[in-house]
Structure 1
Amino acid sequence: MISSEDEKLLGMLRRNARASISDLARALNVSRSTVQNRLQKLEQSGVVKGYVLEYGSAFLSQLVSAHVAIKVRQKLTTKTNVELKQISQISELYAISGEYDLIAVVQAQSTEQLSHILDEIGNLDGVERTNSSVILETKFKR
């Protein structure tokens, strides 16, 4: 379990993972060493795994994103997951319940590229069928 102070720190890092220790300490009204110790504890306990690249809104607004539901032949699930991981335009892959087995989040630079990626996914050994939904607008994201 993490403390409410750690939750505040995580919230700030979620908004800006590049914030300096000094800025975080000032915003939380604690010392720099307190922030460093909390971060170290969160990293060691596995709460914080790492810090990632986040695309800017100008770049993201130019991408075409889609959710792709994927039905997989059960005996080929592992192989299909490995092959899907190799497609760099798939930013996320979720195992789900229901008619389909997976949902992939695909980000392409154009509808033409998206079409090619969807064909690539559909042609993978083990993929029985797909169902795609293009994301028109993001209402909010946390």
Structure 2
Amino acid sequence: MISKEDEKLLAVLKHNARASISDLARMLDLSRSTVQTRIAKLEQSGVIKGYSVDYGEDYLASLVSAHVSIKVRQKLTAKTNVELKQIAQVSALYAISGEYDLIAIVQAQSTEQLSHILDDIGNLDGVERTNSSVILETKFKR
């Protein structure tokens, strides 16, 4: 279990993971060494797995996104998951119930690139069938 101070630190880092140790210390009213120690503990315990980039709204709006339902041969599911993880444009992969086994969220810079990625996914060893739905508009997102 993490402390209240760690929760505050995580909230600030989630908002801006690039904040300097000095800025974090000022915001949290802690010493720099305390902040460094807390971050190191959170990383070592696995609470903080890494740091990532949040894309700007304009860039995200320029991408073509699609939900790709994927039917996989049972014995090749693990291999297919690993291969899908290697495709940079696959931003998320979910195991689902129903006719298909997986849903991949794919983000491409153009419909042409999306078409090539869909071909790549369809040609993976273990993929039996895919069904794609291009996202036309986002009504809301939480």
TM-score (normalised: structure 1): 0.85
Deviation at 1:138, TM superposition (A): 6.6
Q: Which runs of 5+ in 1 are unaligned?
A: none
Output the amino acid matched with 2:78. T
* Rounded Cα–Cα distance in structure 1 between residues aligned with 2:80 and 2:6: 38
1:59-74 map, 5 Å: 59-74=59-74
- Structure 1 pair 138/7, CA: closer, same or farther in 2 (3 Å)? farther
Runs of 4+ displaced beyond 3 Å = none
Which residue in the other structure is 1:10 paired with? 10
* Rounded Cα–Cα distance in structure 2 between residues aligned with 1:39 and 1:114: 39
* Rounded Cα–Cα distance in structure 2 between residues aligned with 1:93 and 1:82: 11
- Which shifted more, 16-25 or 29-38? 29-38
- Structure 1 pair 11/132, CA: closer, same or farther in 2 (3 Å)? farther
Output the amino acid matched with 2:107. Q
Which residue in the other structure is 2:140 paired with? 139
* Rounded Cα–Cα distance in structure 1 between residues aligned with 2:111 and 2:58: 18
Which residue in the other structure is 2:126 paired with? 126
Output the amino acid matched with 2:52. V
1:8-47 map, 5 Å: 8-47=8-47
- Which shifted more, 40-49 or 75-84? 75-84
- Which shifted more, 126-135 or 8-17? 126-135
Corresponding pairs, count: 141
Output the amino acid matched with 1:123. N
For the aligned residue pairs, the C-alpha RMSD in angstroms reads 1.9
* Rounded Cα–Cα distance in structure 2 between residues aligned with 1:8 and 1:89: 32
**Tell me, what secondary structure is at the counterpart of 2:88?**
coil
Q: State the percentage of identical aligned residues.
A: 77
Deviation at 1:77, TM superposition (A): 1.1
1:84-110 Cα distance to aligned partner (Å, 9 max, x none):
223221122222333322221211001
- Which shifted more, 10-19 or 29-38? 29-38
* Rounded Cα–Cα distance in structure 1 between residues aligned with 2:112 and 2:56: 22
Q: Which runs of 5+ in 2 are unaligned?
A: none
TM-score (normalised: structure 2): 0.85
